[in-house]
Structure 1
């Protein structure tokens, strides 16, 4: 049997298998129960306002805060890791590996409850502010490695040329290397932002006031009260809103990566 024939038969069998799975699900699932649980029309009508006005707004705000502060921290860590001073490299490496190795939820809970109890610390913004600090610590660790890779991707000739013109190492890094590095790492940094948008959902574990809840927190509260209580409709709606926020960003990343490949 020819290779092309075997390939067509293999592809055909996969299509048949997929069709069989779809048919089995179609005939065995209780679709009225699925609709009532995940797509309750009464809940859909009454819950959009709180999910969008409170949930989406706060999710975007928390993402912006965590990304901006994490980016500043990441630049410092990346420069420390590339420093000629050994202790700086060691400290940056320990920090990055530590926070990249811990689950983000553990860091958020530690900042929200552990540190305030252990040290009598009153974080700015209360428990929610402490949770945001936890997000910043984690985001900084991940973005630091991205920025370090971007700096090292800038051709050495750029640094040598600027130094030969009399620029100091600090000015060379600030005005020559970092701008080029950021142009290289825009796609992965955008990916980090997408991850941060989803990680803000972890703030639901430390509690929030009614007006400061992010999207997941609002959806969770709606499962216990309101028109969609006792159903998962609010989670379905929250999932749709997360996709509305993140899908354009992921498509933007794909476009930027494709553009960079063409430029090379």
Structure 2
């Protein structure tokens, strides 16, 4: 490394850093290595993907598969109905996200509380988490969807949309509550002690000190749960909800052409892929921040 005596922006002379010849040589080597790695990655991708396309395209059954699963004209024909059902999926997912956020936060706070008076609630919260994390979502949907109407609590039974969303909320709240609880427990106890020494109450410490750090740490897994929720909300179709999957099934049953399923899959991918890339980006920033602060 070298320093040249030059005039700075303010008009005062001072040493200005400039890379040495060795540093410039190292940079040139790194650039060459990056170009070589990029070239190898591109060539390997072309070979693998191109080989798969050749194998699939030259197979004997490809014409039948193309006609049965990738009929463009039929896909455009059924797109409006499937799109209407997909909007229902998005609405139910939005409602579920709000309910899950509230319920899971309450459960996480109860389970991390040390107040003796909340011991019965902690037991109930633990049982709830163990129960709904242990039962598959499909079974929860069937139990809620057929069990609640059988109780005849009201003259008019709840709609399948309400029952299906309730089942999803009950299941996902158990998972999200554990994610939030792990974030709360990851905050060092010294943070609580420092907040209490400053005169903050237990509730104020949790609200202003612990929760902001905890939520920031668990944002990547929460985004992963959101992606999974957007996919699993389609399971409400087994109760008869006219969502994208149900509408695709109806169209397929009349023509025995499976292109509607491909159309529904593409609609879900248009939402889940950007969310997945966002999750990866947030995770990368989180790791970089932890490495910079020396906590990784």
| TM-score after normalising by structure 1 | 0.84
Q: Is the 8 A contact 2:82 2:244 kept in 1?
A: yes
Change (3 A) 1:55 1:150: same
Q: Is the 8 A contact 1:55 1:214 kept in 2?
A: yes
Q: Is the 8 A contact 1:70 1:136 kept in 2?
A: yes
Structure 1 residue 220 and structure 2 residue 254: aligned?
no
State the Cα distance separating 1:23 from its structure 2 match: 5.9
Q: Is the 8 A contact 1:55 1:216 kept in 2?
A: yes
Match of 1:42? 73
State the Cα distance separating 1:185 from its structure 2 match: 1.1
Match of 1:261? 287
State the Cα distance separating 1:26 from its structure 2 match: 4.3
State the Cα distance separating 1:125 from its structure 2 match: 4.6
State the Cα distance separating 1:127 from its structure 2 match: 2.4
1:82-97 aligned at under 5 Å gives the runs 82-84=112-114, 85=116, 86-97=119-130
Bigger strand fraction: 2
CA distance in 1, matches of 2:93, 2:135: 20
Q: Tell me the secondary structure at the aligned position of residue 113 of structure 2.
A: coil
Structure 1 residue 62 and structure 2 residue 92: aligned?
yes
- Mean alpha-carbon deviation: is it higher for 33-42 or for 136-145? 33-42
Match of 1:181? 214
Match of 1:237? 263
Match of 2:63? 32
1:7-22 aligned at under 5 Å gives the runs none
CA distance in 2, matches of 1:191, 1:240: 19
Match of 1:8? none
State the Cα distance separating 1:32 from its structure 2 match: 1.6
- Mean alpha-carbon deviation: is it higher for 135-144 or for 161-170? 161-170
Structure 1 residue 115 and structure 2 residue 148: aligned?
yes
> Which structure: larger Rg?
2
CA distance in 1, matches of 2:53, 2:250: 33
Give the paired residue count.
Answer: 241
- Provide Cα deviations, 1:20-51, integer angstroms capped at 9, x if missing partner: 87765544332221111101122122122222
Q: CA RMSD in A?
A: 2.3
Change (3 A) 1:124 1:199: farther
- Flag structure 2 segments of 5+ consecutive residues without an equivalent: 1-46, 291-296
CA distance in 1, matches of 2:140, 2:200: 41
Change (3 A) 1:20 1:49: closer
State the Cα distance separating 1:167 from its structure 2 match: 1.3
Q: Tell me the secondary structure at the aligned position of residue 224 of structure 1.
A: helix
Q: Tell me the secondary structure at the aligned position of residue 218 of structure 2.
A: helix
Q: Is the 8 A contact 1:40 1:233 kept in 2?
A: yes
State the Cα distance separating 1:121 from its structure 2 match: 2.8
Higher relative contact order (CA 8 A, sep 6+): 1
State the Cα distance separating 1:124 from its structure 2 match: 7.5
- Flag structure 1 segments of 5+ consecutive residues without an equivalent: 1-15
Which of 229, 233, 247 is the aligned partner of 2:273?
Answer: 247
Q: Is the 8 A contact 1:112 1:128 kept in 2?
A: no
Structure 1 residue 146 and structure 2 residue 179: aligned?
yes
Which of 165, 170, 194 is the aligned partner of 2:203?
Answer: 170
| TM-score after normalising by structure 2 | 0.75
Q: Is the 8 A contact 1:51 1:218 kept in 2?
A: yes
